[in-house]
Structures are given as structure tokens and as C-alpha cells.
Amino acid sequence: MGNVVFKPELRSIKLLESEDILDIQPITKEKYTYLALTNSGKIIELNTKHETINILFSITDGKVEFDKDVSILISSNRNIIAVFNTFGRFGLVIDLQVKNILMKFSRDDYYYDLTIFPINFFMHDNRVLLMHGTKWNRLDVTDPLTGEFLTSRVDPKLSQEHYLEFFHGQLLVSPDGEWVVDNGWVWHPLGSVTSWNIKQWLTKNKWESEDGESKKELWWGKEDWNDPICWISNIKIGIIGRFDIDLFDEEEIVNLPKGLVFRIIDVRDGSMIQEFNICLGKIFFDTYLYCSTKDSGLKVYDILNGKMIFEEKTIKPRIYHSRSKEFVEVKKNQITICKLIKEECNFI
């Protein structure tokens, strides 16, 4: 097998004048199509193939603060989105078809600013549902179209059954909608990544997110939280982090990997499948593992052996569109699009 060489192709698109892009996300089922959020609260649709922009909605209500980090989430049918302060307490769900705010959501104020807001959309029985943090140690599921609350249960007190001593963080739903991974933390403090089965949560056990049969701890002894994370397949999650060596005995430390590592873990049983050293950065997976770093740009890793096979220092993308094969970097009101054209080079 020959070495893989990538040829980068770069181009830039200027968006709305005098407005900065706070976040941009791909509409994953539509090539070259994205939704972006501006610092004035505008939701815009962008097509990078035709370089067209369409303003879909303007947020004038709610407690979202646009002078702080703000994120946008897009449901799989693309019509329902969530906008929220990334490390804040408040957010909105918006129906872009009828141009209306469907619901407002919030979490309590107990150390809320230490984690990415725990929230994500998923599909269940052909319904778009929203899982979201309501308290520091509680997640709930709501149907944003009807307002139906699907995870009603009492709040257990300390030492009672189902009481959860865990701070929920960033939520990632598997591509097939079967599993959720929670990038949170526990007192020490240290990072703690967990997973559980969504169908069991909704159909069998409303306590599944606390202590259900399918719930697994994926990385014990992780030093930090909010570290980069991405799906590798429907059952495999990739996580960047490092071990907190203060938690281990001397003989255990000898066998621990040093520095930042990338771990691939099976969410069904918590088993570790692969592990290798990596730089810190946003990560995306599509045949190869891509890592966007602040200091050295975009790196490409062979996920089978952990070898870095390519580096492009001129771009530091924020997101990746898997259908369009586009990396997107944001600089105020301009985006730079990078495509990596793969070439096979055979050496004798």
C-alpha cells in the first residue's frame, strides 16, 4: 500500500457585512449546506457550492447572551434547532419552518459554567426529541413540538437510590441514535465520560441516565473534562485526554500512557479498543482521524496505528462536513473552506 498524500484546496467566502459568526454547523444530510449564528442573533443558511446566504430567523427573545460563547445544534430533519450559551444556563429551541420559538430551556446554577451545556437532539419513533440538562446531576427528554415531558421522575436526595454524584457535560448521540455519551465530571475533581442506551432510557427505565443497566463509565481516572470527543462508529467513541496520575499507585503509573492520548472505546461495555498519543485539538473522523490544533493547524492520523500521516498548517478548522468533505474555519464574518484531495503515492 502506498503512502497517502493530501493536496489542500482553500477558498474563502465573506458572509454578512459587519456581523461576526459565533458558530456554524453542517446540515449533515445536505451537501455544502450549513447553518450559522451571528452576533446579532441571526440564523443564516449558507451554501458553499453556490456561495449563497439566506437569513432564516432573528432571535430577539430569551436569555441567550451573544457577547459570550454561543452554540447552535441542528436536528436531523434540519427544521428544529437549539441556540444556547455554550457554558451558560439558558437556551432556545426554534422551529425554522414556522419561524417560532418552541421552547426555552435552562439548567440550575450549581457549577454550571464548568461544562459545555448538556444538550442534543435525537430521533425516536419518528419524533424529534431533545435531551437536555435541567440540574447539575439530571438530564430530561422533551418533545419540543408538543412540550411533552418524557422522563418524569422524582429528584432523589443524597444517599437515596438513584442519586447521581455527576456533573453532566457535553452530550454526543451516536450516528444511529442508539447511544449517548456524556462528557462530564465528578468531585475530586476529575473528568468522567459515561454512556447509556437511549431506547432503554425512554422505553424501559427512566433512571437509565443515573444508574441503568446499559450505563457504563468509559474512562476512569481522566484528568480533565470538556476534552475533544467524536464518534468513530455507531458503537465506538474517540476521546482525547490524559490520566490523572495522582489517582494511581506507582506500579500502575509505569504502565499508563504519558501525555495526551486518543482512546477509542466501545460504549456497549466500556472496553478500550485503541490508544495512541495525539495533539490537543478539535477532532473529526471520516476514514482518517483529523485533529485541528491552535498551534500547528490540521493534522491527519491513521486510526489503525496512530501515525500522523499529514499536516496542513495554514488552516485551523472549527467544523467538518462529512457529506461535502469540507473543513470550515471561521474568522469574524469570513469562512475559509478546505478540501483535502487524497492522492496515492507508491514508492519502490
Q: What is the mean pLDDT of the chain?
A: 95
Q: 237 with 229: CB under 8 angstroms? A: yes
pLDDT at residue 62 greater than cutoff 90: no
Residue 1, pLDDT above cutoff 70: no
Residue 348 has pLDDT above 50, yes or no: no
Q: Among the residues of the chain, which ranges form H helices?
A: 198-203, 208-211, 250-253
What does the pLDDT look like over 34-49, one tens digit per residue? 999 999 999 999 999 9
* pLDDT at 316 exceeding the cut of 90: yes
Return the pLDDT at 156: 97
Tens-place pLDDT, residues 275-306: 999 999 999 999 999 999 999 999 999 999 99
HEC assignment per residue over 223-241: CCCCCCEEECCCCEEEEEE
Query: Is the CB of residue 310 less than 8 Å from the CB of residue 300?
Result: yes
pLDDT surpasses 70 at 347: no
Q: For position 342, what pLDDT does the model report?
A: 87
Overall residue count recorded for the chain in this entry? 348
pLDDT above 80 (res 82):
yes
Split at pLDDT 50, 70, 90, the class of 345 is low
pLDDT confidence band for 346 (50 / 70 / 90) = low
How much is the average pLDDT of 84-98?
A: 98
Point out which residues pair with 131 in neighbouring strands. Answer: 120, 141
Q: How many CB atoms lie within 10 A of CB 182?
A: 24
Residue 92 has pLDDT above 70, yes or no: yes
Q: Is the separation of the CB atoms in 23 and 37 below 8 Å?
A: yes
Q: How confident is the model at residue 5 (pLDDT cuts 50, 70, 90)?
A: confident
How would residue 4 be classed by pLDDT, with cut points 50, 70 and 90? confident
Q: What percent of the chain has pLDDT over 70?
A: 98
How large is the average pLDDT for residues 225-235?
Answer: 98
pLDDT score, position 228: 98
* Residue 188 pLDDT class (50, 70, 90 cuts): confident
Residue % of the chain over a pLDDT of 90: 93
Is 120 within 8 Å of 180 (Cβ atoms)? yes
Locate 275 and state its grid cell.
Answer: 490508544
CA distance 167 to 262: 23
What is the C-alpha separation between 267 and 195, in angstroms, rounded? 6
